[in-house]
Amino acid sequence: MTAHLSRRTLLGLAGAGAGAYLLSACSDGESADPNAPQTINWWHIQNTEPMLPVWAAMANEYKTAHSNVTFTIQPLENEAFKAKLTTATQAGDPPDLFQSWGGGVLKQQVDAGLVKDLTDDVKDLVAGILPAAMQPYTIDGKIYGIPFDIGMVGFWYNKDLFTRAGITETPTTWAGLLDAVRKLKTAGITPVAIAGKDKWPAHFYWSYLAMRIGGAGALQKAVDDKNFDTPDLVAAGERLKELVDLQPFQKGFLGAEYGSPDGQAATMGNGGAAMELMGQWAPAVQASSSTSKKGIGDKLGFFPFPSVDGGKGSATEVFGGGNGFAVGKDAPAATIDFLKFLLSVDNQKRSAQTGAVLPTVKDATSAISDANNKVVAETLAKNTGFQLYLDQAYAPALGQQINDSVAEIIAGKKSPAAILKDITQVAKTV
């Protein structure tokens, strides 16, 4: 992820208006006078249905209630957002309100003095938020971001295609998953959709395999020791290579993006593949990316990432994360108040009703209506360990190297042992 929830909630779809969406004319700067004109520069990655109009409506509602506040909104595709944000933060000029997945990237922004400490301002709000959702946004005991969505990565599958291939039960082991891939290929069905060009979707596979083989602590130990070149993590790459060697992916997968018209989400949404490994946002993005704009409906199912025979990890340990917002250092005073507005119970329920958001506000979880989202929420609630997306949990350079290295396994360019040496080399520098 560097997608992604995906990454994160919609993870951005290419081609859906990434330009600035101007609600009205604006003025810059923060003022001590709360009634002085204020403009909130807001960047987010909900750049398509269903959340794009929801965010726009909420901004309009806030603006109507606060006549001195205006917005400049930039909905950006996930990768474009990250590139643009990197440029802005390197220049010391972050947006006022912007998408954040927390973790190592947020910590780097904190260390650079680019984001506001929200601890005192959001005490009442945080009291009503799921504690697990707050973890990636809490650094050294202080709060630097607020999550609006929480979830996990798992396999989304096409029930009809599984049935056609003679698969009667969803796989619970890695060997069983590989067997399902073989059956699908035998039936002439593309087993797996993946966005090879975007890289972050591939890192989900290796990360989960590392957790299942080495246990949830294996990845943290690798960071602490600055050494990823361990038997368990090499084995994770070898297991992934077993899948790659079966040639399970859709035609042209190396050039496919997650949200492009012929990309990973569209392939699933149009019934062109049997499975994808993706976060809780997958059903909504599949639908909005599909030709029908409805996806495959009740043919879609979900199952957790399987266990690995002989592995130290449990199938109840999950990999994922949430979507949230951080507030830039020079943001006008109204920005934090608007953030609280977005996270109100009513607005969290509105977001949940789109099927694209699993709310973080406890009193809004009753609004989860999508059957698959309910399964995800129930699975997440039973987790015995949680690992944030590696490209967000770690320092940016290390997260990017993991994405790049796993992509080399997917493309057949490097061996599992070789990529762990590359990752370790970067780990020693961060």
Q: How many domains does the chain have?
A: 2
Within 13 A of 409's CA, how many CA atoms are on the CB side?
A: 32
Q: Are residues 78 and 134 in the same domain?
A: yes
Give the pLDDT band of residue 271 (cuts 50, 70, 90): very high
8 Å CB contact between 47 and 75:
yes
Q: Looking at the predicted structure, is the pLDDT value of residue 337 above 80? A: yes
Residue spans of beta strands (DSSP E) within 51-159: 69-75, 97-100, 138-139, 142-143, 146-152, 154-158
Closest CA to 133 of 316, 339, 361, 327: 361
Q: Are residues 351 and 214 in the same domain?
A: no
Token pair in block for residue 353: 């009703």
Q: Are residues 180 and 294 in the same domain?
A: yes
Q: Are residues 137 and 239 in the same domain?
A: no
160 within some domain: yes
CATH of the domain at 372: 3.40.190.10
385 within some domain: no
Q: Looking at the predicted structure, is the pLDDT value of residue 2 above 70? A: no
**Domain carrying residue 256:** 154-317+391-427
The model's pTM is: 0.82
Burial 317-333 (b: 16+ CB within 10 A, else e): bbbbbbbbbbbbbbbbe
First to last CA, the chain: 20
| Amino acid code (one letter) for 151 | G
Cα–Cα distance, 186 to 162 (Å, whole number) = 12
Cα–Cα distance, 297 to 295 (Å, whole number) = 6
Query: Which tens digits make up the pLDDT trace of 293-305?
Result: 999 999 999 999 9
Query: Which tens digits make up the pLDDT trace of 188-214?
Result: 999 999 999 999 999 999 999 999 999
2 within some domain: no
- Written as one string, the DSSP assignment of 139-163 is ETTEE--EEEEEEE-EEEEEHHHHH
Q: Are residues 306 and 329 in the same domain?
A: no
Q: Are residues 215 and 268 in the same domain?
A: yes
- Average pLDDT of 35-40? 94
Query: Which tens digits make up the pLDDT trace of 69-97?
Result: 999 999 998 889 999 999 999 999 999 99
Q: Looking at the predicted structure, is the pLDDT value of residue 21 above 50? A: no
